[in-house]
Chain A
Amino acid sequence: MPNIDEVKKRLTDKFKGDITNIDQPVNNRLFVDIKKDKVKEISNEVIAMGGRYLVSVGYDRLAEEGVLGLIHTFSLDKDSIMMALRTSTPENEPIESITPDIPNAGWSEREYMDLLGMKFKNHPKPKRLIVADDWPADVYPLRKDVPWNLMPPPAENVAYELDKCPEGCTVVPVGPYHPTLHEPAHFSVFVDGETIKGADYRGFMTHRGIEKLCQTQLTYNEIPFVAERICGICGSVHATSYSQAVEQAAGLKISRRAEYIRTIMLEIERVHSHLLWLGIAGHLIGFDTVFMQSWRVREPIMWLGERLTGNRKTYGMIVVGGVRRDITPELKEDILNVINKIEEELLVVKNAVIGDTAIHKRTKGVGRITKEETIKWSLVGPVARARGVDIDARRDNPYAAYDEMKFDVPVFDDCDVWATVLVRIIETFEAIKIIRQCLDKMPNDGPVLTEYLDPLAPGKHGLTCVEAPRGEVVHYLITGKENSPERWRVRAPTYPNLQGVPLMLLNDQFADLPIIIGSIDPCFSCTDRVDVINIKSGEVQKMNRHELEEMSRKYKK
């Protein structure tokens, strides 16, 4: 178990000439400036020390220094250290890709090919990821000289080249709209009979450019409200993570009471999110009793949110420096009553469904990937914990008031969707436990909002994580001029987990696809139509639900 000085020593010993500077603004954060030739070696060294890849951050410094900046971030979970490897490259010089060794970096690197025009050597899949297919190839939207409201003219007849279907397989397109996907996303699934043999993904169809918008148009204290709208389910998570990043960059210490209130809000959100997911998971496998009953149990916590914050979701509670509303003694009582009731009712739901063989048959052994693969692909949250990877940002990199909380982190070795269900149910009970501890230990006085008096200096870096219901959220912030950030990078938990989905689908039945994709946490939209492509003739046949039903009945006979 290396401590932070040992990590520093090991890096400087091994890469003496390649590390130009090591910055340690707070105890458990390391910002290491490295030369660009050694990016791959040093990244691999961090992984060898027990690091887990988080996300990469690219930013534009062309006007100031004539370079594009690139930051790879890692978390050493066992040692509670988060570190960032910072490097930069001139506009036209390629940088070594770390994707061949760390597959999860694939999307981040593709993102900066699209958004900043960076070039990566040896990237295994240098395809378009973020921008639309008809976006002009020479416009890099995250560069500062591109205006935030640029609207290039649309182009005709452009389409994304999906991966080639393996020999003997058939393509089944799932999406762009599909009942199991909570946003427009396209999975091209390669099937051999009913067995899935591979999948390609084309998403980012709702890419809204929130980072660019906030960097150019909004000020520090407006961003939490936009951050909250990144996700409709775990909004406070993003607002907290962003606010913590600003506070860390500014060196602002917020009041303990505010930290406790943040913790309560995050855990309330976890309870509601897990209950919502449990319902959806039940719905996806056709077990609607679970769906109805867990959503019934969930409803009181939505009303509680309304009483606490004034809104049933998108609480708008968290701003830089603390929280907006206080929790009065009456509200405290209210929270206790609601969570007691939920705990009681959830136990009834759990006992009623946990022994049902229908659930076991649909989830056990489904979406199986090994622990080693999970670590290699840097998957996070319940998806990772269900596969034996013992990580939880609340315990590993404590923030808010989690350092004083006592709770268990459920970890299972089943490596399938069933374990994900168990992890989430247990976490809901743990969340209720944490809320009780918070209410018990919360300091009774103190301001809920700490004001920051000096102007915020530009060029400071902040790196924070928050354990969202679905996994770990990472925010990276670089402060800028004029009261708004120069760069703000958000990594939602689905970003790494979705990259692992093709692996989870492999060799599973096609009928299990909804619950496998659903196990990383979706919402749903609706369509009743599938495209069937005949590979040999290339003929596309559109079928509606009625025709499909007819066909399946015919084949069943």
Chain B
Amino acid sequence: MWLISKIKQVLLVAKPGVVTLSYPFAPHPVPKDYRGQPYWDHHKCIGCGGCAAHCPARTIMIRDVCQELRVMMYDGSRCTYCGRCADVCPEDAITMTPLYEMATGDKNDLSETMELFMATCHRCGRCYDHETGNSIDKMRNIGYRYDSIEMRAVIPKTTEQLDLNVLKETENFKRPEKK
């Protein structure tokens, strides 16, 4: 019993031989619909904020610095690559690229910032068309948003009109710290 078992094990190991891939010395291609690093096309983006409202890891920040300028930032350092942003984008401005070699010493290498010129009516966050369909997918933060780009933190506070006081208040936002 024991000997037969050992012989079988030798065959089991010998038959497949060495299966180790030569990566990283040879490239390792990924399948077609792989969810790699997301890419924002600023020509297509309308600044609706759908991606920011649906990002489970809260890696997409929006700050309305004035009436016409919306700053959007993607912070790849804590992205989970779920690809939800690409799913919900009504304009297909976000694509998941096949890039996966993203080790870097500098967080900023993984970030993307866009400054979007906005016409006033596009600011309400209702141009996000998925809103009208699935009520489970409803956006919670609509209107003007004041996330902290410096601290890379989502601030769950929105207003219907641009509020300069909130803008000022959130300017020096600090994350809570252990005392």
Task: Tell whether A and B belong to one assembly.
Answer: yes
Residue of B nearest to A316 (CB): B82
B33 at the interface (CB under 8 A from A): yes
Query: Which of A149, A296, A307, A325 lies in contact with B16, CB distance below 8 A?
Result: A296
Tell me which of A47-55, A67-75, A120-128, A221-229 binds B. Answer: A221-229
Please tell me if the beta carbons of A151 and B178 are within 8 angstroms of each other in the complex: yes
How far apart are the CA atoms of A36 and B140 in the complex, in Å?
Answer: 37
Contacts of B9 in A (CB 8 A): 289, 352-353, 356
Q: Closest approach, in angstroms, between the C-beta of A153 and any C-beta of chain B?
A: 5
B165 at the interface (CB under 8 A from A): no
Contacts of A455 in B (CB 8 A): 135, 138
Please tell me if the beta carbons of B136 and A452 are within 8 angstroms of each other in the complex: yes
Contacts of A324 in B (CB 8 A): 87
B173 at the interface (CB under 8 A from A): no
Please tell me if the beta carbons of B35 and A310 are within 8 angstroms of each other in the complex: yes
A154 at the interface (CB under 8 A from B): yes
* Complex interface residues of chain B between 125 and 139 (CB less than 8 A to chain A): 133-138
Chain B interface secondary structure, helix, strand, loop or mixed? loop
Contacts of B4 in A (CB 8 A): 355
Contact with A along B1-45 (1 / 0, CB 8 A): 110111011011100100100000000001111110000000000
Please tell me if the beta carbons of A482 and B1 are within 8 angstroms of each other in the complex: no
Contacts of B12 in A (CB 8 A): 289, 293, 348-349, 352
Please tell me if the beta carbons of B177 and A151 are within 8 angstroms of each other in the complex: yes
Q: Closest approach, in angstroms, between the C-beta of B175 and any C-beta of chain A?
A: 8
Please tell me if the beta carbons of A482 and B140 are within 8 angstroms of each other in the complex: yes
Query: Which of A154, A226, A314, A352 lies in contact with B11, CB distance below 8 A?
Result: A352
Please tell me if the beta carbons of A306 and B34 are within 8 angstroms of each other in the complex: yes
Q: Closest approach, in angstroms, between the C-beta of A42 and any C-beta of chain B?
A: 34
How far apart are the CA atoms of A221 and B84 in the complex, in Å?
Answer: 10
A220 at the interface (CB under 8 A from B): yes
Please tell me if the beta carbons of B1 and A151 are within 8 angstroms of each other in the complex: no
How far apart are the CA atoms of A153 and B13 in the complex, in Å?
Answer: 55
B105 at the interface (CB under 8 A from A): no
Contact with B along A338-365 (1 / 0, CB 8 A): 0000000000110111111100000000
Given contacts A151-B176, A293-B12, A356-B5, A310 and B96 within 8 Å (CB-CB): yes
Q: Closest approach, in angstroms, between the C-beta of B50 and any C-beta of chain A?
A: 12
Residue of B nearest to A293 (CB): B12
Query: Which of B13, B96, B135 lies in contact with A289, CB distance below 8 A?
Result: B13
Contacts of A356 in B (CB 8 A): 2, 5-6, 9
How far apart are the CA atoms of A353 and B13 in the complex, in Å?
Answer: 12
Query: Which of A246, A309, A321, A357 lies in contact with B2, CB distance below 8 A?
Result: A357
Contact with A along B133-151 (1 / 0, CB 8 A): 1111110100000000000
Contacts of A255 in B (CB 8 A): none
Query: Which of B2, B31, B137, B179 lies in contact with A306, CB distance below 8 A?
Result: B31
How far apart are the CA atoms of A154 and B9 in the complex, in Å?
Answer: 53
Query: Which of B5, B80, B136 lies in contact with A352, CB distance below 8 A?
Result: B5
Residue of B nearest to A297 (CB): B16
Please tell me if the beta carbons of B135 and A456 are within 8 angstroms of each other in the complex: yes
B90 at the interface (CB under 8 A from A): no
Please tell me if the beta carbons of B138 and A483 are within 8 angstroms of each other in the complex: yes
Given contacts A153-B179, A316-B35, A221 and B136 within 8 Å (CB-CB): yes
Please tell me if the beta carbons of B136 and A296 are within 8 angstroms of each other in the complex: no
Given contacts A289-B13, A310-B96, A348-B12, A225 and B56 within 8 Å (CB-CB): yes
Given contacts A218-B56, A221-B54, A452-B134, A310 and B34 within 8 Å (CB-CB): yes
Contacts of A527 in B (CB 8 A): none
Given contacts A296-B19, A321-B136, A483-B140, A311 and B35 within 8 Å (CB-CB): yes
A454 at the interface (CB under 8 A from B): yes
Residue of A nearest to B175 (CB): A149
B83 at the interface (CB under 8 A from A): yes
Please tell me if the beta carbons of A306 and B30 are within 8 angstroms of each other in the complex: yes
Q: Closest approach, in angstroms, between the C-beta of A227 and any C-beta of chain B?
A: 10
Contacts of B1 in A (CB 8 A): 355, 357
Contacts of B58 in A (CB 8 A): 217
Given contacts A314-B80, A355-B4, A154 and B178 within 8 Å (CB-CB): yes
Contacts of A534 in B (CB 8 A): none
How far apart are the CA atoms of A288 and B49 in the complex, in Å?
Answer: 51
* Complex interface residues of chain A between 193 and 235 (CB less than 8 A to chain B): 217-223, 225-226, 229
Contacts of B34 in A (CB 8 A): 306, 310-311
Contacts of A311 in B (CB 8 A): 34-35, 81
How far apart are the CA atoms of A349 and B16 in the complex, in Å?
Answer: 12
Query: Which of A316, A355, A451 lies in contact with B133, CB distance below 8 A?
Result: A451
Please tell me if the beta carbons of B54 and A222 are within 8 angstroms of each other in the complex: yes
Contacts of A314 in B (CB 8 A): 80, 82
Please tell me if the beta carbons of B8 and A352 are within 8 angstroms of each other in the complex: yes
How far apart are the CA atoms of A309 and B81 in the complex, in Å?
Answer: 12
A453 at the interface (CB under 8 A from B): yes
Given contacts A351-B8, A352-B11, A316 and B83 within 8 Å (CB-CB): yes
Q: Closest approach, in angstroms, between the C-beta of A426 and any C-beta of chain B?
A: 19
* Complex interface residues of chain B between 42 and 96 (CB less than 8 A to chain A): 54-58, 80-84, 87, 96
A320 at the interface (CB under 8 A from B): yes
Q: Closest approach, in angstroms, between the C-beta of A439 and any C-beta of chain B?
A: 19
Please tell me if the beta carbons of B136 and A456 are within 8 angstroms of each other in the complex: yes
Please tell me if the beta carbons of A293 and B56 are within 8 angstroms of each other in the complex: no
Q: Closest approach, in angstroms, between the C-beta of A170 and any C-beta of chain B?
A: 36
Query: Which of B5, B54, B133, B179 lies in contact with A357, CB distance below 8 A?
Result: B5
Beyond A303-B31, A483-B135, A483-B140: 20 further Cβ-contacts under 8 Å?
A219-B136, A219-B140, A220-B137, A221-B134, A225-B82, A293-B12, A299-B19, A307-B33, A321-B136, A348-B8, A352-B8, A352-B9, A353-B5, A354-B5, A355-B8, A357-B1, A357-B5, A453-B133, A455-B135, A482-B140
In the complex, 10 of the A-B residue pairs with CB atoms within 8 angstroms, ordered by the A residue number, are: A153-B179, A217-B58, A311-B35, A316-B84, A321-B136, A352-B8, A352-B12, A355-B5, A357-B5, A453-B134
5 shortest interchain CB distances as A-B pairs: A310-B35, A352-B8, A225-B56, A451-B134, A222-B56
